[in-house]
Structure 1
Amino acid sequence: MTISIYALSIALIPYTTLLLPTNIPIPTSLIQPLIAFISFLLLSTILSHTYDILRRPANPQKYKIIRYRDLPGPRATSLIWGLEKDLYDDSPPGRLLERWSKEYGGAYRFRGVFGAKNITLTTPAALHHVLTTSVYLYPKPLGGRLWLGNLLGQGVLVSEGQVHARQRKQLARAFTPQALRGQHAIFERLAEGVVDAWKSLLARSPSSGEGGEGEGTTIDVQYWANRLSLDAIGLAGFGYSFGSLESAVEGTEQHPLARTFDKLTDSSGTYAAFVLRAVLFVWPGVLRIPSKRTRSIGEVRNSLGGEVKRVRREADQEGKTVIGILEQQAAAEGSGIADEEVEAQIMTLVFAGYETTSTAIAWALYELALHPSSQSELRAQLRLSPDYPLLLDAVIRETLRLHPPVLDLHRMAEQEDLVPLGEGKALWVERGTVVYVPLNVLSNEGREARWNPEQWLVPTEGKERERDIQWAFSDGPRVCIGRAFALGEIRTVVAALLREFEFAPEGEKEVEPFYSFVVRPRVRGERGSTLPLRVRRAA
């Protein structure tokens, strides 16, 4: 088709006068401009198709090529923001992505800020290509990497290409089953600390009655989950106790690093925050513009850097911590590792590790509070056996399905590429196109919206069973390296709390999800993240 248009355009150029209408009188003064205009159109067609041919990606598989313009998708609601503001304001978060995926299928387009090209992909062939086989051709958007890099340094969350592959390989030894086995005692000790603290709270509460088995008391489980998870990542990650649980019990001030991260991540967002986030994708240079927001990022980075240096000096690296194993391996190989990189990995562990895990714990307890039959059955099974029952894993899987901490991944094509879509088709992705991978959509494909942990108890093939939970942690070479660590912590904490306590919703307070850095719970009408539940001693 392209060759035909190309040849026809060339052939018609000498005969442009024949293309003029004969039934309409045209002034002599307009004939030459019209001829020039028609010639321009024909030449433009030639040049456009020549450029199209020259930059088209190789297609040895002879795919039927689909272009961006051929994809279905929703119309932009704003000339400036496209559909980015709609996604930012979406409530509950992720609902629009679910609706669009149902309406437009496994590959659709939508415009972003200033008309930027965005593509959402959910077909297996496309996901395997973008997240696995060609993962380093689709890095995180530059603006996002610069923002994270300014905060955390060049750790495994920010790095790309060969640097990421090297860092990933170095860290992998710290997350093997053997290495993680030693972390279980840390999770148990911290969970016991929360149990003891809550028993004390119930004992002091007049409504709890003798033994704490009365009406119970209201506890912000998100607050306590945050404190526990921060201590867990500190002790297991680099041998340092933030003392978060201790300060929660005693009512003393939090560790400066904990306060800094909470201030950074526990926010429902402002219009200024949205603008910065949206513009970053198309214009990373916005970070260099002096503003209150960019100054705040610099201040946070300086604060984090100073605290991490102090934490590293005071940390006990004798044990088998994540950073300890990393440094031991580098020393054994004679390669060494720069102080800046070690500190970047520490900040990455704290930033990526504690918040995602703590929100998963909070959402699990919330769903169990809403579904007392599931709660009672799981408690009975936990008390019958010292081992973790299959129902506990089913509850965790169901929680991550309904409440994935991260809604979607963003990747940007670094070059022209053909992405397989299946059925002999491939999508031509132009350089600079942002690819959305909606994890919440993938986690829910083929499943009902209602709470149903029993569905995970149906026997399935091993690989399929693992795949069902995978999407909450991404996939491919960039899959969350702390996946097993997070699941181990969630399992230990939920089991310990459920053996001892019953959970129920708190009166008329309506809990809603909101998107900050992860999808957190909060009471409707409030800004900060809280999850008040009614807690009493279990009979």
Structure 2
Amino acid sequence: MSLSVLALALALAVPLDRLVLPLLPTLLPVLAQLPHLARLTLHTLTLYSLLALALDSYNRPANPNGYRILRYHDLPGPWPTSLVWGLEKALYDDAPPGKLLDAWSAKYGGAYRFRGVLGAKNITLTLPSALHHVLTTSVYTYPKPLGGRLWLGTLLGEGVLVSEGEKHAGQRKRMARAFTPQALRGMHEVFEQCTGKVVDAWEALLTPTAAGKAATPAQDDAAGGKALSIDVQYWANRLSLDAIGLAGFGYPFGSLDSAVDGSEQHPLATTFDKLTDSSGTYAAFVLRAVLFVWPGVLKMPSKRTKSIGEVRKKLGAEVKRVRQESGSLAGRTVIGILEQQAAEEGSGIDDDEIEAQIMTLVFAGYETTSCAISWALYELALHPASQAALRDELRASASASQPGSGPQPHPPLLDAVIRETLRLHPPVLDLHREAETDDLVPLGDGRALWVDKGTVVYIPLNVLGNEGHPGPWNPEQWLKPAASAISGSTGSAGSGGSSTSTVWAFSDGPRVCIGRAFAMSEIRTVLSALVSGFEFAPDPALEVEPFVSFVVRPKVRGDRRSTLPLLVRKAA
């Protein structure tokens, strides 16, 4: 019996004192009747329980605010479905992605626990005071988990997406000047240029004699006009890559030109597509899951780790070549501004950091922005009333603008549509942070959670995005006075109040996405032109579903690669 108690306690990772002490009055009379080995086992369990209680009392954190302290085992949470994988495999297989996080948050509240690989401790937090602590006041106490940093660092180098602590703060400070409103105004022309190429290409495809890539022959749509099935994800990928190349470091990838004439894509575009454009395999899940508890797995020889090394080598070689061919960057691009500032300060910046930042810009900007554009067009195709209202506002705004006056204020409904898209389709479902030291996290209502060193904190962005704005597609809800401007502060969690004004897809706090204004400017420009000029409708013969690659991409059910065919025709 005692061995069964021990095995059960270890399997469930429940403190033994919670199992043994309540049973002692019943066990003691039986103890004298048991063989010597059984008595020794029970004595050992009792001693362990007493020592665990003593150690727990000794380790109780300082509590000057008089919080009612909760420990990991005090939190509610789902039971693991696997002794090996915990609940990681269930999360990986979740369909649609994020459904489990929604269900758990609804059932267990704003702070709950769940077990990961080999019983690893995971905590999910959505309470405003806890988020403010983890993402703002103690942001560098909660870095990305070491395994994730090593993986991204192996692939991209130690750029702003990977670095932590003082190094990250320094990199972010240097890059901030490249993302000011003044700098972004200079990049708006790039977004318009790239979007114009897509508009021209689609108009050519929609002519009666046109034939081209990423489209199928015209057909009658529900509105009675002629429509063409166009893979908008393909074009969004090409547009985003060209935009980040030109605005980020002054390099013309020519990805849109290749899409038009059918020529071979740039090697960097091909590499990123192969890396990010397909649903995961079981081997990919195992690597990701084990990384959290054993980062050293990256050093083990395997087909997957070898592939990562080859991609990193190829990316590095391409970035060096791209940098050599990009010409003078000073003051005109993100990297150019970064280099110019370093020269003015006399601090210098080494080649490794420049190349890491270039790869980070391409990786982060290309993936997230292209998917946001695709999901926005998909939702507008599903909701023709919203699409028509947005088109009317965009055309009215364009008619009111003066020629040559530069970027104009965008219609409020445009930002509302983008907010609603990011709420329903955040590119990243959750953030992962790992407690670097033991820490006390305030939960509100006089409570605080004692987080042990090494505990992984999950911050479900899809759940946070729905707080205050739940339910199906409804962009008009963002037009209410309570919702702040999308380009404004994202500090709602920091204030301890409602999170309704935060665009959680960009995170929050000092590590909020540094390129959020860049991404928003590009998305606005693209949607403005495409929705003004074209009408979108879903293909009734195809079922679109989300899947997780590096970000949450759309794909046709049954396909492995990311595609989003929509019926497109010229708008009346």
What displacement does 1:25 show?
Answer: 6.5
Give the direction of change, closer, same or farther, for the CA distance of 1:57–1:201 in structure 2 (3 Å limit).
same
Q: Which amino acid aligns with 1:119?
A: I
Give the direction of change, closer, same or farther, for the CA distance of 1:356–1:21 in structure 2 (3 Å limit).
closer
What displacement does 1:46 show?
Answer: 4.3
User: 1:481 & 1:22 partners in 2: Cα distance?
Assistant: 66
What displacement does 1:350 show?
Answer: 0.4
What displacement does 1:42 show?
Answer: 5.3
Q: Which amino acid aligns with 2:269?
A: A
5+ unaligned residues in a row in structure 2: which ranges?
1-16, 18-24, 211-216, 399-407, 491-500
In the alignment, is the contact (CA less than 8 A) between 2:195 and 2:239 conserved in 1?
Answer: yes
In the alignment, is the contact (CA less than 8 A) between 1:202 and 1:208 conserved in 2?
Answer: no
- C-alpha distance after superposition, 1:78-127 (max 9, x if no partner): 11111111100101100000000000000001111111111100000110
The secondary structure found in structure 2 opposite 1:509 is coil
- Equivalent positions of 1:192-341 (< 5 A) are 192-203=196-207, 204-205=209-210, 207=218, 214-316=225-327, 317-341=329-353
What displacement does 1:26 show?
Answer: 4.7
In the alignment, is the contact (CA less than 8 A) between 2:419 and 2:503 conserved in 1?
Answer: no
User: 2:545 & 2:423 partners in 1: Cα distance?
Assistant: 16
Matched, 1:122 2:126: yes
In the alignment, is the contact (CA less than 8 A) between 1:401 and 1:469 conserved in 2?
Answer: no
The secondary structure found in structure 1 opposite 2:226 is coil
2:171 matched to which residue of 1?
Answer: 167
2:457 matched to which residue of 1?
Answer: 435
Q: Specify which of 144, 152, 155 is matched with residue 156 of structure 2.
A: 152
Q: Specify which of 395, 404, 412 is matched with residue 417 of structure 2.
A: 395
Q: Which amino acid aligns with 1:509?
A: L
2:521 matched to which residue of 1?
Answer: 488
Q: Which amino acid aligns with 1:164?
A: H
Q: Specify which of 453, 458, 481 is matched with residue 459 of structure 1.
A: 481
The secondary structure found in structure 1 opposite 2:503 is helix
Give the direction of change, closer, same or farther, for the CA distance of 1:451–1:23 in structure 2 (3 Å limit).
closer
User: 1:426 & 1:333 partners in 2: Cα distance?
Assistant: 44
Matched, 1:131 2:142: no
What displacement does 1:462 show?
Answer: 3.6
User: 2:30 & 2:241 partners in 1: Cα distance?
Assistant: 81
User: 1:523 & 1:22 partners in 2: Cα distance?
Assistant: 66
1:177 matched to which residue of 2?
Answer: 181
In the alignment, is the contact (CA less than 8 A) between 1:56 and 1:416 conserved in 2?
Answer: no
In the alignment, is the contact (CA less than 8 A) between 2:218 and 2:229 conserved in 1?
Answer: no
In the alignment, is the contact (CA less than 8 A) between 1:413 and 1:429 conserved in 2?
Answer: yes
Give the direction of change, closer, same or farther, for the CA distance of 1:66–1:201 in structure 2 (3 Å limit).
same
In the alignment, is the contact (CA less than 8 A) between 1:265 and 1:516 conserved in 2?
Answer: yes
In the alignment, is the contact (CA less than 8 A) between 2:124 and 2:459 conserved in 1?
Answer: yes
What displacement does 1:33 show?
Answer: 8.5
- TM-score after normalising by structure 1: 0.92
Q: Which amino acid aligns with 2:420?
A: E
In the alignment, is the contact (CA less than 8 A) between 1:239 and 1:319 conserved in 2?
Answer: no
Q: Which moved more, 1:339-348 or 1:384-393?
A: 384-393
- TM-score after normalising by structure 2: 0.87
Q: Which amino acid aligns with 1:135?
A: V
Q: Which amino acid aligns with 1:263?
A: K
2:104 matched to which residue of 1?
Answer: 100
Q: Which amino acid aligns with 2:439?
A: D
The secondary structure found in structure 2 opposite 1:247 is helix
Q: Which amino acid aligns with 2:245?
A: G
What displacement does 1:330 show?
Answer: 1.0
1:522 matched to which residue of 2?
Answer: 555
What displacement does 1:292 show?
Answer: 0.4
1:371 matched to which residue of 2?
Answer: 383
5+ unaligned residues in a row in structure 1: which ranges?
1-8, 10-17
In the alignment, is the contact (CA less than 8 A) between 2:111 and 2:127 conserved in 1?
Answer: yes
- Equivalent positions of 1:79-90 (< 5 A) are 79-90=83-94
Q: Which amino acid aligns with 1:296?
A: S
Give the direction of change, closer, same or farther, for the CA distance of 1:38–1:198 in structure 2 (3 Å limit).
closer
User: 1:437 & 1:20 partners in 2: Cα distance?
Assistant: 43
User: 1:19 & 1:196 partners in 2: Cα distance?
Assistant: 82
- C-alpha distance after superposition, 1:16-65 (max 9, x if no partner): xx9995798659x85x984x667645543443233324433322212111
Give the direction of change, closer, same or farther, for the CA distance of 1:197–1:285 in structure 2 (3 Å limit).
same
Q: Specify which of 503, 512, 521 is matched with residue 545 of structure 2.
A: 512
Q: Which amino acid aligns with 1:355?
A: E
Q: Specify which of 445, 448, 456 is matched with residue 467 of structure 2.
A: 445
Give the direction of change, closer, same or farther, for the CA distance of 1:224–1:105 in structure 2 (3 Å limit).
same
- C-alpha distance after superposition, 1:374-420 (max 9, x if no partner): 11111111111224211111111111111111100001111111111
Give the direction of change, closer, same or farther, for the CA distance of 1:19–1:37 in structure 2 (3 Å limit).
farther
- C-alpha distance after superposition, 1:421-474 (max 9, x if no partner): 001111111111110000000000132321111111111264898543421100
1:13 matched to which residue of 2?
Answer: none
In the alignment, is the contact (CA less than 8 A) between 2:430 and 2:458 conserved in 1?
Answer: yes
In the alignment, is the contact (CA less than 8 A) between 2:76 and 2:113 conserved in 1?
Answer: yes
Give the direction of change, closer, same or farther, for the CA distance of 1:523–1:21 in structure 2 (3 Å limit).
closer
- Percent of counterpart pairs with the same letter? 70
In the alignment, is the contact (CA less than 8 A) between 1:157 and 1:348 conserved in 2?
Answer: yes
- C-alpha distance after superposition, 1:452-509 (max 9, x if no partner): 1111111126489854342110011110000000000000000001111111111310
Give the direction of change, closer, same or farther, for the CA distance of 1:20–1:489 in structure 2 (3 Å limit).
closer
2:53 matched to which residue of 1?
Answer: 49
User: 2:26 & 2:113 partners in 1: Cα distance?
Assistant: 37
Q: Which moved more, 1:141-150 or 1:385-394?
A: 385-394
User: 1:493 & 1:221 partners in 2: Cα distance?
Assistant: 12
The secondary structure found in structure 2 opposite 1:385 is helix
The secondary structure found in structure 1 opposite 2:566 is strand
RMSD: 2.3
Matched, 1:410 2:432: yes
User: 1:37 & 1:518 partners in 2: Cα distance?
Assistant: 51
Q: Which amino acid aligns with 2:198?
A: V
1:533 matched to which residue of 2?
Answer: 566
